[in-house]
Each structure stands twice: as structure tokens, then as C-alpha cells.
Amino acid sequence: MAAMGHTMETGRVVEWHISEGESIDEGQLLISIETDKTVVDVNSPVSGVLLKTVGQVDAEYDVGEVLAWIGDAGETVPDQPVEPDSKKRSVAAGPRVTPVAQRLADRHGIDADAVEGTGPDGRVTKEDVQRAIDDGTAPAKAEDTSVPAGEVVPLSGIRRITAERLSANWGVAPHVSEGIEVDFSQFESYRVEREADWQEKWGTPLGPNDLILAATAQTLKDHPDLNTGFVDGAICRYNEVNLGVAIDIDGGLVVPVVRNADKLSIGEIARTVRELAVKARENKLTPDEMEGGTFSVSNLGGLGIDWFTPILNPPQCGILGIGRIQRVPRYAGNEIVARDLATLVLTFDHRLIDGAPCARFLSQLRAALEAPEAFLD
């Protein structure tokens, strides 16, 4: 079990992508490991034959423990020490049917619990279900008339991690939210006039989200009480401004981190976010790229949401939710003019900070966003 992050102590085996006895090339997908933040696809460090898999699906292992042996065909595998009871319990405590086997059974309308399991402790594996399908011996799932018909999907992977982390945090941290309306008309005007110049200068187009990230990073420097976390019953004041950026991917949500965002130009932030987004959607983010965030930003404006109250990303004190920009009528003196407005909502941990300083943060952030010249020149 490799350490896939500075804070990682254990990992859970999600799925083996190669079976015992099969050949594998260096760099080929070998195993999926679930950390405390995400599911990581791990490639083989060498070429050879997968002689033996020691790590059991759904079992948790300490960093440094042996999960498999890869070598030459016919090579003798060293004796494996007996697993401690804690490891055995981690397998036995899991479901009798592996998540992969359950999904396959659900697709074919099969009662996976009635399939004979050949895995550790009699667990039903994907191969067991497939064998039952091929043999025509797969028992049909009995119809349950006590509940409405529908698909039951076990929580797994990123969705399970998200559910556990956010549920635990919601029950502990008192969430409070404040919102403010921001006028992006000046930025939108600049974007029309200078988009080609920005592309040439920074190598990427700029959008409102890039401006918000840059302005948030600078504003946090003047409001250090928001750039904190609740760690071991105490307030941790971070020395860096590392922005977590929520990204929607298949299967859930990930929050990679833009490190030292307050020291980056808006163009550097834009490029970093786009690179992280590509890696996220290709499932190539490393645990290091998802650690160390001190404040988070989530933008649902692109999905047509006017405003929302985001949930905190533990142990962080604050998260900013961004709604869509809308052209709406507003009074300017005695005249009605069209303005490009969006609502920003700050959710904060009331254990660490009060409402008034958060309101001052939002007011300063709005002022920066409505006069964006400092970030664009």
C-alpha cells in the first residue's frame, strides 16, 4: 500500500483490474485504492505476471503493507505473514457481496446473495456472478412489493467518501450562511473588449470564476479568521491561502486545491484550474492535489442556479457558493439600466468566526469584483 498523500495512513482496496496469473505491463492499470479523500487508480510499477493478490477487496490496509506480488511466470511467492485480526474484521464487517459483483447482479436482475461465493470468507465476487450468468444458474431476484420498484445502488467510491465526510461535518459544525449581490458588468465589459489580449497574455480565456478565485484569495489575506480550520478541538490559522475548487465529475464531487492562490496571477489561477479539471475528469488527480485546502469555492452558475448554500468542506472554516450571472434591470439614479448581477453565498463555521466579520469579508470581496482592473492588468 503506497502512501498517496502526506496524511494517508490507510487505504481500502476497491477493485483489482488484473487477475492472478495474468501478464501486466509497467504503467498498466492494476488496482483502485480508496483514500480518505478519493478513489485513486494505481498503475503497475513494473512489467511481469501478477503472481498473487494479497489485498482483499473492501479490506483496509496500512501504508507499507503488501497487496500483491508481481514477478516472472513460475516464480515462488514469499510466505505472507498472517493478517492481524483488525484486517480480517475489516473484511468480515463488509457486505457479503462485493460492490462490483452487486452492480453486475443488479444489471441482470440476479439475487447476488443467493450466488455461491468463492472469495475470502465466502464473499461473492464479480467472477462468481458472471459464472452464474454464463451457466444459467443465476437465481432471479425476488420482487419486493413492500417498497416502490427502483434500483438500489450501494454507496461506494467518491460518493461514499463524500457522504461520510459531509454527514459527519454537518452534525458537528454549526453552518451559517450569508449572501451578497455582486455586479459583474464591468468585468463583462472588459471581457468583450480584451478577450483576445487575455488569451495572448495568459494562454487561456478568462471567465468570472477566475476573477472570483483571484479576488477571494487576495481578500482572505485581509480576513485571516476565515482562512482557518477546526483541528483537534482548536482553531488552526493557516499560513497559506490554498483554494479548494469544487469540480463535478462522473460519480461525485472532487475538490482539488490551487496552492498559494494569493501569490498567483489571475492567468496562472485560470490555467491551474483548467489543468486540475481535466485531470479530475480523467480520474488522474493525485491525493497531493486534493490536500491542504484552507478555503473552498463552489460554482453552480454554469448549471443555471441562481444561488445556493454550500456545505463546509471539513475542517475548513468557510466555503463560497457562486450563482449564475443574470442581466437584470436596476435603478441608476432616476433611470433603469441593465446590470450583470450574481449572488455569492458564504457558509462558515460559527464555532470559529461570527457573522459580522464574514459580512465585512463579503463586502470587501464585492468591492474587488466590481472594480476588477487590479486583477486584469
354 is catalytic: yes
> Residues 179, 310: contact at Cβ < 8 Å?
no
Residue type, 3: A
Cα four-point dihedral sign 241, 242, 246, 247: positive
> Residues 106, 120: contact at Cβ < 8 Å?
no
In the chain, beta strands by DSSP E = 10-16, 23-24, 29-34, 39-43, 48-53, 60-62, 68-71, 175-183, 228-231, 234-237, 243-245, 247-249, 252-254, 257-258, 295-299, 318-322, 326-332, 335-349
Nearest-angstrom CA–CA distance, 31 and 17: 6
> Looking at 197, 250, 350, 377, which residue is catalytic?
350
> Looking at 134, 340, 354, 377, which residue is catalytic?
354
Q: All 3 cell numbers of residue 145? A: 412489493
For 1, the 3-state DSSP assignment is coil
Nearest-angstrom CA–CA distance, 8 and 176: 30
Beta-carbon contacts of 310 under 8 Å, excluding residues fewer than 6 positions away, are 246, 296, 298, 319, 320, 321, 345, 347
108 is catalytic: no
The residues that are catalytic are 350, 354
